[in-house]
Amino acid sequence: MGQGGGDRRLRFRQQQVPENRRQPRFRPQRAELAGRGAYSHLHPQEGAWAHAAHAHASAGPGGLLAGGGDPALLGVGPGPGGGGAQKAQRVSFFKKTLFWVIVLIALAGGFFFFDEKQQTLKEAKEADLKLLPHSAKEVSAFWIGASEGRPRIEAKRLAEGWQITQPLAAKGDDKAIDKFLGNVVGARKDAVLFTAAEHGKLAELGFGANELEMGIQSDGGETVIVFGEKGPTLNVAYVMFKGRPEVYRVHSDLRKEAAKELLALRDKTLLEFDPVKMARLEILRRDGPKVVIEQDRGRWNMLAPVAGRASMNKVLELLYAIRNGEIKAFADEDPSDLTPYGLAAPRLQVVIRQEQKDSPFILTIGERDRPRRGYFARTNLMKKVFDVDEELVNAILLGADQLAETETRK
């Protein structure tokens, strides 16, 4: 009986779970569909299982039970179908990212080339507006043509600096000449007034016998600028290039700059010494006592008119005033007699001895030059007689009595 009961239970289970439910059957139709569907990259058998799992999952609880809860059959998790879907998603995301990176690179390149083109056009426009194509540093020589009441000025660039060669030989003022050339060479053309003008029109614009000319020499050759008169509004002037018919309109400051006087281009250094390295200072006055100050390793001592300590600050202030002083005008390039200038019996003489220098620096002051509001003077380094500003002479005369150190009482 017990054996019969066991047979009945076995038959009951076999009835509850049919044979066709226990073993899933392979259907060629689904395998064929799997090869054409989203899982076509899988093995036909794997694709069929993935579609079967999807079908059971969409069928509800029964389908889920039929699948046995196997993630591989449901197409999720680490099974064959789920891994392929994740891989496809990663490939798709990579392709989209790569596409946008390429787009951004292309846009950045386009903007770069656009900006570069705009910069090139801007530079070409700026170059076209310049009066001359080169820079002031490229100028090796220049001349300013003779006009009514003024001589021709010529200068050339040497290894040691600018040298005036006409109307006399003299050292040029390097800073002044470089600034002057920068203003001329860097000037801009406001407009082309005429591509060609008749003789009468040129005369009306000031191009005639007394016109101002300036020649500029560079590696590219010589360029000659011809200046006309100022315009009716006085803020423009007219220029031409010699040998060319065009008439240009420029700012009137350019004509004023080109009409420099010789004095503006000459070196006007009075005495070139180092005040800090002064070893001995002597001030000799025609109407006052002699002042003598010496410096020894940072100690400033007054030897005359009385012995004592000298004020370092006041002595240096006076020395720098002399060092920074400039020649106001040149009175006589080659004087044969110093008496007319009061330099035979000078009003004032300053003698400065510098450390490690054998020769002293001597400034001699003569009589007053009233028309120029200065004093005739000369140094032991040049033969010329020139003018110095009266303010400098007054500073020396007054400062000589204030160089002694004053004790501060608490």
- 193, pLDDT greater than 80: yes
**Cα gap 359→310, rounded to integer Å:** 24
Residue 336 vs residue 32, higher pLDDT: 336
Residue type, 350: V
- 49, pLDDT greater than 70: no
Per-residue model confidence (pLDDT) at position 226: 92
Per-residue model confidence (pLDDT) at position 337: 95
Mean local confidence (pLDDT), 205-214 = 84
Per-residue model confidence (pLDDT) at position 40: 43
Per-residue model confidence (pLDDT) at position 162: 97
- 77 in the Ramachandran plot: left (φ > 0), alpha (ψ -120 to 50) or beta? left
Per-residue model confidence (pLDDT) at position 353: 97
Nearest one of 61, 97, 56, 99 to 75, comparing CA atoms: 56
- Of the pLDDT bands very low, low, confident and very high (cuts 50, 70, 90), residue 15 is very low
Per-residue model confidence (pLDDT) at position 52: 42
The order of strands in the sheet holding 291-296 is 308-309, 299-304, 291-296, 278-285, 348-354, 361-369, 374-379, 385-389, 327-332
Per-residue model confidence (pLDDT) at position 271: 95
Per-residue model confidence (pLDDT) at position 229: 87
Per-residue model confidence (pLDDT) at position 409: 41
- Of the pLDDT bands very low, low, confident and very high (cuts 50, 70, 90), residue 264 is very high
Per-residue model confidence (pLDDT) at position 125: 57
- Of the pLDDT bands very low, low, confident and very high (cuts 50, 70, 90), residue 115 is low
At 94 the three-state DSSP class reads helix
Residue 222, C-beta contacts closer than 8 angstroms, at least 6 positions apart = 215, 216
- 2, pLDDT greater than 50: no
Residue 331 vs residue 82, higher pLDDT: 331
- Of the pLDDT bands very low, low, confident and very high (cuts 50, 70, 90), residue 122 is low
Which range is least confidently modeled, 180-184, 231-235, 319-323, 342-346? 231-235
* pLDDT per position as a tens digit, 377-390: 999 999 999 999 99
Q: Which string of b and e fits 311-320 if b means at least 16 CB within 10 Å?
A: beebbbebbe
How deeply is 286 buried, as exposed, middle or buried, from its count of CB atoms within 10 A (0-12, 13-18, 19+)? exposed
Per-residue model confidence (pLDDT) at position 55: 44
Mean local confidence (pLDDT), 270-296 = 95
**Cα gap 84→72, rounded to integer Å:** 11
Per-residue model confidence (pLDDT) at position 121: 58
**pLDDT mean across residues, the chain:** 80
